[in-house]
Amino acid sequence: MARTRSARSEERRADILRAALEVIAERGYRGASLGAVAERVGLTQQGLLHYFPTKEALLVAVLEERDQWDTGGRRSSADGWRLELLASLVEYNAMRPGIVQTFSALLGESVTDEHPARPFFTRRYAQVREEMTDVLRAEFGDRLPGGLTPEHAAPLLVAVMDGLQFQWLLDPESVDMAASFQDFVALLGIPDGAGAADGAS
Amino acid sequence: MARTRSARSEERRADILRAALEVIAERGYRGASLGAVAERVGLTQQGLLHYFPTKEALLVAVLEERDQWDTGGRRSSADGWRLELLASLVEYNAMRPGIVQTFSALLGESVTDEHPARPFFTRRYAQVREEMTDVLRAEFGDRLPGGLTPEHAAPLLVAVMDGLQFQWLLDPESVDMAASFQDFVALLGIPDGAGAADGAS
């Protein structure tokens, strides 16, 4: 009985996250209110609060879920994804402004003191830098063709992705996020399609 | 008489911006309330609203003023600053987390729909990309040593600066903003101290 209830609760939680993602895609960060998400998933707002006590908690859960999907559900192992994936990810992000806007807005808020999303982002960046370092080392050894060590390249890779998102969100006509990211990848000295050598293509 | 009033008003406006900068430095983005700034400058909150109708308007004015100072007050001409200045600016920013936090938090908010700071940031980035392009072209011609054109390098330079700020604000112990920026400058193929050849050193 307890297990059934827990499984049902997990399922409901997943439904809420899917609904939130839909609302975010349609209405952006500001439109993604707890009320709108509750309505979408057929819960009262009170019922939704049982799963996610605040808008920030819900959005952090959505972003965590997105990270899982974006890296193929294998965040714990560097084998789960390769550098090539990043370029595709940037291209993909250019087609989903709602979630990118939500990520960027919440990231902005999180740097203020005692913001509820701050621990998530701090943890996430430490983890992403570490994973990227591992991926780069696995592909290129202790030094990338452009001269940087994996440890030094990792924070720059993350910074470029995030920084380009802000410029693109503010002015999508003027900023080609995917092309700019490719420029950066070329600077690192990484040939086109690195990591695809033994892949499907 | 009208001129006197106007000059006095300008002076008061400058006082407010200085006070706001102090409050930001001491208390960060969240602590920089209109009330705190009014108190610092010896105005009632109502009096302050006469100059700046919202917190966002005040913060945008502070950031505009900072941009003026940071680029030596010569934003309109590429001759007013050089690439070397950027590296010093990143080092300097690492010593003033309050204003960097304010910039980053407001940038985050600005990407949401119809945010009052959105026009400022959109305009600012278009302008900064253009200025950096001009500076890079003046120093390196149509192609940087690392291979990129000035047009392609400019958005990356901005993205790296902004992206590193977020990582640094969240985890200052783990992220060396100035060293990472130097790594990126090296990737562009720019030798140390570029632009200083005819300078003081």
Q: What is the ipTM of this complex?
A: 0.89
Distance CA B111, CA A169 (A): 6
A116: number of CA atoms within 13 Å, CB side?
Answer: 10
pLDDT recorded at residue A49: 96
Question: Does the pLDDT value for residue A2 go beyond 60?
Answer: no
Report percent pLDDT > 70 for chain A: 88
Using the Cβ of B110 and the Cβ atoms of chain A, whether some distance falls under 8 Å is answered with yes
Supply φ then ψ for residue A100, to 5 degrees: -65, -40
Q: Residue B75: pLDDT band by 50, 70, 90 thresholds?
A: very low
**Which H or E run contains A34?**
helix A34-41
pLDDT recorded at residue A198: 42
Hey, what amino acid is at A148? L
Distance CA B129, CA A167 (A): 10
Nearest CB to A159; choose among B118, B129, B164: B164
- A171·B122 Cβ contact <8 A: yes
Q: Residue A77: pLDDT band by 50, 70, 90 thresholds?
A: very low
Q: Residue A70: pLDDT band by 50, 70, 90 thresholds?
A: confident
Query: Could you tell me if B168 and B181 are in contact, meaning their C-beta atoms sit under 8 angstroms apart?
Result: no
CB pairs under 8 A between A and B: 151
Residue written as token pair 């390196």: B140
| Cα nearest neighbour of B120 on chain A | A170
Using the Cβ of B96 and the Cβ atoms of chain A, whether some distance falls under 8 Å is answered with no
pLDDT recorded at residue A199: 38
Report all structural domains of chain B as residue ranges with CATH numbers, in order of start. 1-53 (1.10.10.60), 73-188 (1.10.357)
Q: Residue B120: pLDDT band by 50, 70, 90 thresholds?
A: very high
Question: Does the pLDDT value for residue B153 go beyond 60?
Answer: yes
- When pLDDT is averaged across residues A36-46 and rounded to a whole number, the result is 96
Q: Residue A6: pLDDT band by 50, 70, 90 thresholds?
A: confident
Beta strands in B94-193 (DSSP E): none
